[in-house]
């Protein structure tokens, strides 16, 4: 499996039936492709859609049906659309069970930077700050390093998205939990050693005596 597939499949294991879940831009959008056949998840896009399904197959794209990034999505039976005011009312009202977001950096305290790089033109923060503050659980899906440099740092050097820490980070190398207030190495990817994870991470990880490998059992779409 490539890095993005490993991340998306592992994040999909965090889902539970009946959840209302927001998927951010990039790797997070792939998570919908790995939901077990018998599990009903309600995916929300902040541009006003609940009931998004997997990325549509070639030839099945509906140009008016997109996610918040403007990328084509599918809609499951029973899906509903609404305006941005309703969408952000759901987010800010703490009705989302989980949001899955990409990241530029995450630090030892679980603080996230994912919306801008100084000196580069960006359209704005978008819904990221609302999602981090409003979702009941924040899961980060990202590659462990960028251009050979760690993205999990002792302290973020880029502007923070919010002051609320994330709950879990999933990369192609590891699963790291911030539930205790410190980064704890929960799992390594298949064939990846603890030493390899530590070498690719600037933050000081708490390493339990036994760190299991990720598993990818179960049917997926």
CATH number at residue 114: 3.40.1080.10
Tokens read off for 117: 């790089």
Establish if 204 belongs to a structural domain. no
**Count: domains in the chain:** 1
How far apart CA 51 and CA 53 sit, in angstroms, is 6
pLDDT at residue 218, as a whole number: 54
| Out of 62-66, 102-106, 178-182, 192-196, least confident range | 62-66
Catalytic residue among 14, 46, 108, 187: 46
Q: Which two tokens stand for residue 87?
A: 């969408």
pLDDT computed for residue 124 by the predictor? 67
218, part of any domain = no
Average the pLDDT over 176-191 and give the result. Answer: 96
Query: What pLDDT sits at residue 55?
Result: 78
Question: What is the predicted pLDDT for the residue at 190?
Answer: 96
**pLDDT number for residue 123:** 63
Residues 6+ apart with CB under 8 A from 179: 167, 168
Residue 212 lies in a domain: no
220 pLDDT more than 50: no
Give catalytic status of residue 46 as yes or no: yes
Q: Which domain holds residue 129?
A: 3-199
Least confident of 43-47, 116-120, 154-158, 188-192: 116-120
pLDDT at 221 over 50: no
Does the pLDDT at position 147 exceed 50?
Answer: yes
Strand 105-107's sheet: what is its strand order? 112-113, 105-107, 152-153
Contact of 48 with 70, CB cutoff 8 Å? no
Q: Using CA atoms, how far apart are residues 84 and 90, in angstroms rounded to an integer?
A: 10
Mean pLDDT over 167-175 rounds to 98
Instruction: Record the pTM.
Output: 0.93
How do residues 33-88 score in pLDDT, each as one tens digit? 898 888 999 999 888 999 987 778 888 888 888 887 788 888 889 999 999 899 99
Q: How far apart are the first and last CA of the chain?
A: 16
Please give the pLDDT value at position 5. Answer: 97
Whether residue 21 is contained in a domain is answered as yes
Is residue 210 assigned to a domain?
Answer: no
Residue 158 domain-assigned? yes
Answer yes or no: is 107 within a domain.
yes
210 CB-side CA count, 13 A: 1
In a domain, 129, yes or no: yes
């Amino acid at each position: 499996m490539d890095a993005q597939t490993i991340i998306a499949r592992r994040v999909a294991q965090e889902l539970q039936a009946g959840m209302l879940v927001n998927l951010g831009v990039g790797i997070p959008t792939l998570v919908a492709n790995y939901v077990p056949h018998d599990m009903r998840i309600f995916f929300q896009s902040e541009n006003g859609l609940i009931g998004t399904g997997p990325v549509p197959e070639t030839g099945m794209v509906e140009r008016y049906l997109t996610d918040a990034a403007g990328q084509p999505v599918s809609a499951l039976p029973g899906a509903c659309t609404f305006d941005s005011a309703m969408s952000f009312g759901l987010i800010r009202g703490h009705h989302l069970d989980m949001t899955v977001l990409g990241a530029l950096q995450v630090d030892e305290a679980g603080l996230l930077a994912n919306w801008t790089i100084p000196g580069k033109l960006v359209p704005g923060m978008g819904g990221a700050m609302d999602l981090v503050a409003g979702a009941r659980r924040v899961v980060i899906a990202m590659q462990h390093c960028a251009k050979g440099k760690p993205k999990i740092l002792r302290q973020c050097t880029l502007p923070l998205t919010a002051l609320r820490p994330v709950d879990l980070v999933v990369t192609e190398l590891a699963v790291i939990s911030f539930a205790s207030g410190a980064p704890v190495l929960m799992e390594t990817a298949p064939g990846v050693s603890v030493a390899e994870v530590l070498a690719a991470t600037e933050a000081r990880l708490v390493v339990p005596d036994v760190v299991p490998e990720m598993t990818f059992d179960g049917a997926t779409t």
